């Protein structure tokens, strides 16, 4: 009798794991760029969006997300004030990840990410409502409107659907043509899958 109950519970757990799921997630971004002559400071921002997972096998699934992701970098202005200036480059980001479950609830994930610029501005007073300068209002060169990158990380998910993840995103496309600048973003997320 106990054996039958154990087998039944194992089959239910396996069936739950093989169901497609959708959810929501959000978290913090620590973004900067690579390829600059001097490495700038990171911009701390956020990401938020939806996630969907499609199991392919017991330990393998595909996960797609649609996120608003605040990226860019900050630097200290030269001169006596040494004020911080933030370059804000925000994307609609679409990662498509392969996930491998190494133990129950813990998965490794890797895959491409496709990013579309939705906001680009310079903020001379980060943390305040004033100081935003839209790039369209200046003679500055605009960033490339599309960025392809690669993402890798890990996620731990509970049986109740709550999850936490850490991920690194690296841009493969230059932010500006011939600049060698590429996005570099660490993300820490929490979320819930239904």
pLDDT in tens, 60-73: 999 999 999 999 99
Residue 123: its pLDDT value, please?
85
Global pTM reads 0.83
Q: pLDDT tens-digit profile of 144-194?
A: 899 999 999 999 999 999 999 999 999 999 998 888 899 999 999 999 999
Banded model confidence at residue 11, pLDDT cuts 50, 70, 90: very low
* Domain parsing of the chain, residue ranges: 20-193
What is the DSSP code string of the chain? -HHHHHHHHHHHHHHHHTS-EEEEEEEEEEEEEESSSSPPBPEEEEEEEEEEEEEEETTEEEEEEEEEEEEEEEEEPSSSS--EEEEEEEEEEEEEEEEEEEETTEEEEEEEEEEEEEEEEEESSTTSSS-EEEGGGSSSPPPPSEEEEEEEEEEEE-TTSEEEEEEEEEE-S-SSTTS--EEEEEEEEEEEE-
pLDDT in the model for residue 80: 55
CATH topology of domain 20-193: Porin (2.40.160)
The mean pLDDT of 75-104, rounded to a whole number, is 86
pLDDT for res 107: 98
């Amino acid at each position: 009798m106990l054996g039958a109950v154990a087998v039944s519970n194992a089959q239910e757990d396996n069936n739950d794991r093989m169901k497609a799921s959708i959810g929501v997630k959000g978290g913090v971004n620590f973004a900067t760029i690579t390829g600059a002559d001097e490495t700038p400071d990171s911009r701390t921002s956020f990401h938020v969006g939806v996630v969907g997972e499609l199991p392919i096998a017991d330990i393998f699934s595909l996960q797609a997300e649609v996120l608003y992701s605040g990226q860019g970098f900050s630097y200290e202005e030269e001169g006596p004030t040494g004020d911080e200036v933030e370059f804000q480059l925000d994307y609609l980001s679409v990662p498509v990840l392969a996930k491998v479950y190494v133990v129950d609830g813990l998965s490794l994930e890797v895959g491409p990410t496709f990013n579309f610029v939705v906001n680009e501005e310079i903020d001379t007073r980060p943390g305040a409502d004033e100081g935003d300068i839209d790039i369209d209002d200046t003679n500055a060169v605009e960033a490339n409107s599309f960025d392809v990158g690669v993402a890798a990380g890990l996620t731990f998910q509970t049986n109740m659907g709550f999850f936490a993840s850490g991920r690194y995103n690296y841009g493969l496309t230059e932010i500006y043509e011939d600049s060698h600048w590429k996005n570099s973003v660490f993300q820490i997320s929490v979320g819930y899958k239904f």
